[in-house]
Structure 1
Amino acid sequence: MKKTILFLLFLSHFTFAQRYKPRNITGLLGAFGAEVALVKEQLQNPKTVMVDGVTFTTGRIGNQKVVVAETGIGKVNAAMTTALMLDHFRPKRILFTGIAGGTNPDLQPGDIVIAGRIAHHDYSSITDKNTPTKQTRNAITKAFNPVYFPADSALLRLAEIVVKSVPLEGIPLASGGVSDRPVKVMTGTVVTGDVFVASSEKGKSLRADFGADATEMEGAAIAQVCYQIQVPLLIIRSLSDRADAEAHIAYDKFYPTAARNSAKLVIALVKAL
């Protein structure tokens, strides 16, 4: 009986995944207008397409066909825009560019986290056996998703190679020194919740509970949609702040540089595909 149930779950998931027929186009997403605008500036022959009120822009970056969209802030907006993009354009893969708050004490505003894995930090439910879990459930197969959604391994490896040759902007030193601080890039854990984290205590708890290097408001929602439909995904986040009490001040100062560096990496990654 148990084997039969597992087979049916596998079959329903396999059948659904087979219905998704990808086209030779790459989906590019960002939460803010400014982040998306940086990518759109690189488009050749841009064309605008409206899908249920959401603006998508198609074009080329290098030899790659791409479609670009702004998700809006928060998990529901991110999931909705991702689903519309997948349904209408059928991208072969999705890349996300954006900013985040740093929860790794070794990172500073301006540094980059390539998300090797990503999780919801504000999700919790009770299983049929009355035990708490942080795992979401796949609405198609009814099976539990992993707590951490993994990045696509091929995209991750390519990003780790490409970033070594990307001319990232240096970060201004707080002391006003002669030269800027070079950007630190790491592959790490990103967590997602519907809250702008501006508390050192909250940041420490995310670090302790999830091993989080950065926190933001869209990634895990996009990752869950892509995981359930089996579409390759990579999320890149450049830190605008340290998710502490000074987050709003740091955000205003570092957001422009952080957004540009994240977009530069994503654009270079597209060209390298």
Structure 2
Amino acid sequence: MNNRLLLFFLLVSHFTLAQHYKPRPITGLLGAFGAEVALVKESLKKPKTVIVDGISFTTGRIGKQRVVVAETGIGKVNAAMTTALMLDHFRPQRVLFTGIAGGTNPDLQPGDIVIAGRTAHHDYGSITDKNTPTRQTRNAITKQFNPVYFPADSTLMRLAETVVKTVPLEGIPLASGGVSDRTVKVMTGTVVTGDVFVASPDKVRSLRTDFGADATEMEGAAVAQVCYQIQVPHLIIRSLSDRADAEAHIAYDKFYPTAARNSAKLVIAIVRAL
């Protein structure tokens, strides 16, 4: 096949794929587990539960926007499955993910927020005999390689960066029982995903060196990959529950309720601003 025919084939395939997905006027909201989606569900007006292949989806309104909310479950396979079911059954115009993460950027603390400008799988790839890593997934629809980093929708990202300035985020609980008066830091950065809870300074350094990671979690890139391949705008929001170090389990138990609420508050504010 010459280059002209190949280009024509790719353009036709892209056009056909773009025409295949018919979005409806509804926004998809996802979170990995109950605490991450509870606040979102509580904000819904006229909620209604719909079961799709055993997965519970809750429809309703936030402000003027129709939304559908679901808990994906922990891990990449669960996240991809729930995202695919949501896209197939509800056909949302866009997908937002709210949740917690471990911080890998040394400038960030528990409670801070990373708006994912891009996401990547940190546990996907192969090592050749030359020790050269290959990290690109392959698009099951086009059969082409995906990018290593899945870019967030630029419009949603800019909206999040603007809206977050008006959201009253909670301070971090202190050991004394009080609350830190330190301002919650918000940045747009890189979130990496793998089927592992990271609690290792060595792994944190590796993720920082290899991917430029600001946070690590277990679902974001799976959601991003499904949305990228179906061409649905997406944005991942993560609030840090720990620093993914040796004390991560202790910090997680202490900080995740606050982190989950801060992430959910931002996602709700974004939806209201659409």
Moved over 3 A (4+): 173-179
Note if contact 1:173-1:180 (Cα within 8 Å) is conserved in structure 2. no
Equivalent in the alignment of 2:240: 239
Q: TM-score, normalised by structure 2?
A: 0.95
- Consecutive unaligned residues in structure 2, runs of 5 or more: none
Quote the Cα distance in structure 2 between the aligned partners of 1:103 and 1:241: 9
> 2-side partners of 1:53 and 1:178: how far apart?
40
Which secondary structure does the structure 2 equivalent of 1:253 belong to? helix
Q: How does 1:108-119 map to 2 (within 5 A)?
A: 108-119=109-120
Check whether the contact 2:215–2:240 (CA below 8 A) recurs between aligned residues. Answer: yes
Aligned residues: 271
Question: Structure 1 counterpart of 2:169, which letter?
Answer: L
- Root-mean-square deviation (CA, aligned residues, Å) is 1.6
Q: TM-score, normalised by structure 1?
A: 0.96
Task: Find the residue that maps to 1:17 and give its secondary structure.
Answer: helix
Equivalent residues of 2:93, 2:232 under 8 A apart: yes
SS in 2 for 1:251: helix
Equivalent residue, structure 2, for 1:124:
125
- Equivalent positions of 1:118-157 (< 5 A) are 118-125=119-126, 132-157=133-158
Query: 1:233, CA displacement in angstroms?
Result: 0.2
Letter in 2 for 1:18: Q
Residue 24 of structure 2 aligns to a residue in which SS? coil
Q: Deviations over 1:182-238 (max 9, x none)?
A: 210000000000000000100110000000000000000000000011100000000
Matching of residues 97-246 of structure 1 within 5 Å: 97-125=98-126, 132-173=133-174, 179-246=180-247
State the percentage of identical aligned residues. 86
Maintained 8 Å contact 2:171/2:179: no
The change in CA–CA distance for 1:255 and 1:179 in structure 2 (over 3 A counts) is: closer
SS at match of 1:92: strand
Flag the 1:132–1:247 CA change in 2: closer, same or farther, 3 A.
closer
Match of 1:84 in 2: 85
Structure 1 residue runs without a partner (length 5+): none
Tell me the equivalent position of 2:258.
257
Shift of 1:4: 1.6
